[in-house]
């Protein structure tokens, strides 16, 4: 299997941790010719979500810390959001559906950020674990390991009895 650039298609492995604790995570593999939208769809399935929302991937600049880490990051977003001018910033928002993994300068150990549902803000940290694996006979993307139970997409909210 070859990519349009003439390079051989490889597999990537990502560890996707929910929140900052790292207690609930999934290991996902994709082919290098797949997109960030394919990664989003795999994360969506891996965490047992059922209701679609907008999302973005953020690639912080080396050395960025604290609040500026995401504010100054390169952003790859849902195709609908990429068509509209950014609401909260002046940065360019790239289309995740048009961004192939092979086009990104991903390296082992690199961490980047994924936010799903801008209202509820499901935050994820993604760590690149492999960038040059062989492509096997499995379906891609593929969830290859799960650790911890997925929390409900919409946690039960207790109603105030005083209403």
Tens-place pLDDT, residues 45-67: 999 999 999 999 999 988 777 77
pTM of the model: 0.87
- The average confidence (pLDDT) of the chain is 88
Do 23 and 148 form a contact (C-beta atoms < 8 A)? yes
Q: Provide the token pair at 35.
A: 């997109």
Tens-digit pLDDT profile for residues 71-127: 889 999 998 887 776 555 556 789 999 999 999 999 999 999 999 999 899 999 999
**CA–CA separation, 16 vs 126, rounded Å?**
5
Helix ranges (H only) for the chain are 36-46, 68-71, 79-83
In what helix (H) or strand (E) does residue 58 lie, and over which residues does it extend? strand 55-59
Q: What is the CA radius of gyration of the chain?
A: 17
**DSSP result, 83-104:** HSPPSS-SS-EEEGGG-BGGGS
* Ramachandran quadrant class, 31 (left: phi over 0; alpha: psi -120 to 50; beta: rest): beta
Fold for the domain defined by 14-147: 3.10.290
Q: What's the Cα-to-Cα distance from 95 to each of 14, 49, 55, 83, rounded to whole Å?
A: 20, 22, 11, 8
């Amino acid at each position: 299997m070859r990519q349009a650039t003439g390079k051989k298609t490889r597999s990537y492995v990502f560890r996707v941790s929910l929140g900052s604790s790292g207690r609930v995570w999934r290991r996902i593999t994709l082919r290098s010719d797949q997109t960030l939208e394919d990664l989003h769809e795999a994360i969506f399935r891996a965490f047992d979500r059922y209701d679609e929302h907008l999302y973005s991937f953020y690639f912080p600049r080396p050395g960025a810390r604290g609040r500026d880490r995401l504010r100054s990051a390169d952003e790859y977003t849902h195709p609908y959001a990429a068509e509209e001018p950014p609401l909260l910033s002046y940065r360019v928002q790239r289309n995740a559906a048009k961004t192939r993994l092979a086009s990104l300068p991903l390296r082992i150990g690199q961490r980047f950020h994924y936010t799903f549902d801008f209202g509820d803000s499901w935050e994820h940290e993604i760590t690149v674990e492999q960038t040059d694996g062989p492509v096997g006979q499995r379906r891609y993307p593929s969830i290859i390991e799960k650790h911890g139970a997925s929390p409900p997409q919409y946690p039960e909210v207790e109603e105030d009895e005083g209403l």
